[in-house]
């Protein structure tokens, strides 16, 4: 059995990590605080990342017109039906969740931490949207509760970064990882496989790079082309190659083999909304993709970190 597993999984799952840390089933309750992004409002760019959906990658987060307590309690109630004894992490998911005054962030986070059975806060953000004042606050928050900072990277390939309108450098990303780790804050990195015109080697290089950094977790996504995005327009015009399910599984297993076993795998695929998805249609069957990744690891008789 894989060292960081209590099931048949051959990689370090988030469920395993949470159960070891908290001795409980843990759910992340997705929240939408109504923030924007610095590459939307003109601070560093306009239009946002070309793949970003209307909800700011918060498809299953709460309704931003509702206050945070209502969003949290509605999300929690759904989870309680399946796991009545679970505990919770408040997940500020949509768009850039450090892109606000510190007092506003503190107010939102405290409202979540006041709820019953909340064991932590997870914050999705960009490496260029955490000020020095915010870093000081995050250090304070990390001493108060369990804190995860999720940083979007997506790729290390400069040409792709420009194409997708990330509007920050790799140097900026690496610097922020170091600043967060100085404060003992867990860092989770988002990457996307299948970005336009990237090769398999490009995707593996992104993981090779991350494996050398002091990160604690990774989310692996497949690029989803959704309605009403610049990516949709690009795809209709250029018809760039979209990974097949078989190609994606092959790449993900190769990536897992290149990652240190102690890095927690928070995701191995995404789950876009069916009504918004243009391609690839196979993404809708999330659990089939996850099961096929497991099967491929068994077929290869491989594990996370086996190629290190």
Assess if residue 1 is contained within a domain. no
Q: Which residues contact 153 (CB under 8 A, 6 or more apart)?
A: 127, 173, 189, 190, 191, 206, 210
Assess if residue 308 is contained within a domain. no
94 is written with which tokens? Answer: 């949509």
Assess if residue 64 is contained within a domain. yes
Are the beta carbons of 128 and 44 closer than 8 angstroms? yes
- Condensed to tens digits (0 to 9), the pLDDT of residues 5-17 reads 889 999 999 999 9
CB atoms near residue 114 (< 10 Å)? 10
Task: Give the residue among 153, 243, 286, 151 at the shortest CA–CA distance from 207.
Answer: 153
Range of the domain at 52: 14-300
Assess if residue 164 is contained within a domain. yes
Per-residue model confidence as pLDDT tens for the chain (308 residues) = 789 988 999 999 999 999 999 999 999 999 999 999 999 888 998 889 999 876 555 456 668 889 999 999 998 988 888 888 899 999 999 889 999 999 999 999 999 999 999 999 999 999 999 999 999 999 999 999 999 999 999 999 999 999 999 999 999 999 999 999 999 999 999 999 999 999 999 999 999 999 999 999 999 999 999 999 999 999 999 999 999 999 999 999 999 999 999 999 999 998 888 889 999 999 999 999 999 999 999 999 999 999 99
d(CA 86, CA 19): 10
What DSSP string describes 219-257?
A: EEEE--EETTSHHHHHHHHH------HHHHHHHHHHHHH
Q: With DSSP H G I counted as helix, E B as strand and the rest as coil, what are the percentages for the chain, rounded to 5?
A: 40, 20, 45
Assess if residue 285 is contained within a domain. yes
Number of domain units in the chain: 1
**β-pairing, 225-226 with 264-267?**
unpaired
Assess if residue 4 is contained within a domain. no
Q: Using CA of residue 246, residue 247, residue 252, residue 254, what is the dihedral sign?
A: positive
For tokens 């909800």, what's the residue? 55
Assess if residue 5 is contained within a domain. no
We report the CATH number of the domain holding residue 40 as: 3.20.20.70
pLDDT confidence of residue 59: 56
Give the start-end residues of each E strand in 155-224. 186-193, 217-222
Are the beta carbons of 249 and 289 closer than 8 angstroms? yes
- Condensed to tens digits (0 to 9), the pLDDT of residues 206-254 reads 999 999 999 999 999 999 999 999 999 999 999 999 999 999 999 999 9
Torsion of CA 163, 168, 169, 175, to 10 degrees: -150
Assess if residue 281 is contained within a domain. yes
């Amino acid at each position: 059995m894989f060292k960081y597993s209590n099931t048949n999984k051959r990689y370090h799952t988030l469920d395993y990590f949470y159960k070891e840390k908290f001795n409980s089933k843990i759910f992340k309750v997705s929240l939408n605080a109504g923030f924007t992004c610095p590459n939307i409002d003109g601070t560093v760019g306009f239009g946002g990342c070309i793949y970003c959906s209307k909800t700011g990658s918060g498809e299953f987060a709460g309704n931003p017109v509702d206050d945070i307590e209502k969003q949290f309690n509605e999300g929690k109630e759904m989870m309680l039906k399946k796991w009545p004894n679970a505990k919770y992490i408040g997940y500020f998911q949509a768009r850039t969740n450090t892109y606000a005054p510190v007092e506003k962030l503190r107010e939102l986070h405290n409202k979540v931490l006041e709820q019953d059975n909340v064991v932590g806060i997870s914050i999705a953000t960009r490496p260029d949207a955490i000020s020095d004042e915010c870093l000081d606050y995050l250090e304070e928050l990390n001493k108060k509760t369990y804190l995860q900072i999720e940083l979007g990277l997506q790729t290390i390939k400069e040409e792709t970064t420009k194409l997708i309108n990330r509007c920050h450098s790799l140097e900026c990303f690496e610097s922020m990882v170091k600043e967060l780790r100085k404060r003992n804050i867990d860092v989770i990195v988002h990457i996307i496989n299948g970005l336009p015109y990237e090769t398999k080697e490009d995707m593996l290089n992104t993981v090779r790079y991350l494996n050398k950094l002091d990160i604690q977790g990774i989310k692996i996504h497949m690029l989803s082309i959704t309605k009403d995005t610049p990516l949709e327009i690009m795809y209709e015009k250029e018809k760039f190659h979209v990974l097949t399910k078989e190609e994606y599984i092959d790449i993900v297993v190769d990536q897992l083999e290149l990652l240190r076993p102690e890095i927690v795998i928070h995701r191995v695929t995404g789950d876009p909304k069916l009504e918004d998805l243009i391609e690839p249609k196979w993404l809708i069957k999330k659990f089939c993709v996850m099961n096929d990744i497991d099967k491929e690891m068994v077929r290869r008789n491989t594990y996370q970190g086996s190629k290190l």
